[in-house]
Amino acid sequence: MSATVIFTIVSLSAIGVIAATILYFVAQKFKVFEDPRIDQVDEVLPGANCGGCGYPGCRGFAEACVKANELDALFCPVGGNDCMADVAKVLGKEAVAKDPEIAVLRCAGTHSLRPNVNQYDGAANCTISSNLYGGETGCTFGCLGLGECVDVCNFDALVMDPETGLPVVDADKCTGCNACVEQCPRDLFELRPKGKKDRRIYVACRNMEKGAAKKIGCEVACIGCNRCVKECAFDAIVVENFNAYIDPIKCKLCRKCVMVCPTGAIHELNFPPRKVKVEVEGEAEKPKAVKAKPEPVVEVAASKAEAQPERVVEKASPEALSNKENENTSDQSIKLGE
Partner 1 sequence: MLKTFPKGGVHPPENKISAGAAIETLPLPTTATIPISQHLGAPSAPTVKKGDKVKVGQIIAQSTGFVSTNIHSSVSGTVQKIDDSIDASGYKRKAVIISVEGDEWDENIDRSPELKKEFSLSGPDIIKKVLENGVVGLGGATFPTHVKLSVPKGMKADVLILNGVECEPYLTSDHRIMLEKADEIIVGTQILMKALDVKKALIGIENNKPDAIEVFSKLADKNPGIEVHPLKVQYPQGGEKQLIKALINREVPSGGLPIAVGAVVQNVGTALAVYEAVQKNKPLIERVVSLTGKSVKKPANYLVRIGTPVAELIEASGGLPDDTGKVINGGPMMGKALNSLEVPVTKGTSGILIIPELEARRRPVQNCIRCARCTQVCPMGLEPYLLMTLTQKSMWDKVETNHALDCIECGSCAYTCPADRPLLDYIRLGKTTVSKLIRARKQ
User: Hey, which residues between 95 and 154 contact partner 1 (CB under 8 A)?
Assistant: 117-118, 121-123, 125, 127-128, 131-135, 140
Please say which residue, 49 or 332, places its beta carbon nearer to partner 1: 49
Q: Where are the alpha helices (DSSP H) in the chain?
A: 2-29, 36-44, 57-67, 80-91, 126-132, 148-152, 179-183, 211-217, 227-231, 256-260, 285-291, 298-307, 309-316, 323-337
CB of 134 to partner 1, least distance (A): 4
171 binds partner 1 (CB under 8 A): no
CB of 209 to partner 1, least distance (A): 7
Please say which residue, 151 or 306, places its beta carbon nearer to partner 1: 151
The C-alpha atoms of residue 338 and residue 332 are separated, in whole angstroms, by 10
* Residues contacting residue 19 through CB under 8 Å, at least 6 positions apart: none
Q: Pattern 13-42, binding to partner 1, x per CB under 8 A?
A: ------------------------------
Residue 260 DSSP SS3:
helix
Please say which residue, 72 or 182, places its beta carbon nearer to partner 1: 182
213 binds partner 1 (CB under 8 A): yes
12 binds partner 1 (CB under 8 A): no
Please say which residue, 213 or 225, places its beta carbon nearer to partner 1: 213
CB of 213 to partner 1, least distance (A): 7
Please say which residue, 127 or 332, places its beta carbon nearer to partner 1: 127
Please say which residue, 131 or 317, places its beta carbon nearer to partner 1: 131
Identify whether the C-beta of residue 298 lies closer than 8 Å to the C-beta of residue 329.
no
CB of 291 to partner 1, least distance (A): 32
From the list 42, 86, 101, 209, which residue makes contact with partner 1 (rule: CB under 8 A)?
209
Please say which residue, 56 or 122, places its beta carbon nearer to partner 1: 122
Give the binding range for partner 1 (CB under 8 A) out of 75-83, 153-161, 173-181, 208-216.
208-216
The C-alpha atoms of residue 120 and residue 133 are separated, in whole angstroms, by 10
> Count of residues binding partner 1 (CB under 8 A)?
17
User: In angstroms, how far is CA 165 from the centroid of its own chain?
Assistant: 17
Please say which residue, 81 or 127, places its beta carbon nearer to partner 1: 127
CB of 107 to partner 1, least distance (A): 17
Residue 244 DSSP SS3:
strand
User: Hey, which residues between 61 and 90 contact partner 1 (CB under 8 A)?
Assistant: none
Beta-strand pair 243-246/189-193: unpaired
Three-state SS annotation for 176-240? CCCHHHHHCCCCCEEEEECCHHHCEEEECCCCCCCHHHHHHHCCCCCCCCCHHHHHCCCCCEEEE
Beta-strand pair 158-161/266-269: unpaired
Cβ of 309: how many Cβ atoms within 10 Å?
12
Q: At what angle do helices 57-67 and 80-91 cross, to 10 degrees?
A: 50
Residues that bind partner 1 (CB under 8 A): 117-118, 121-123, 125, 127-128, 131-135, 140, 209-210, 213
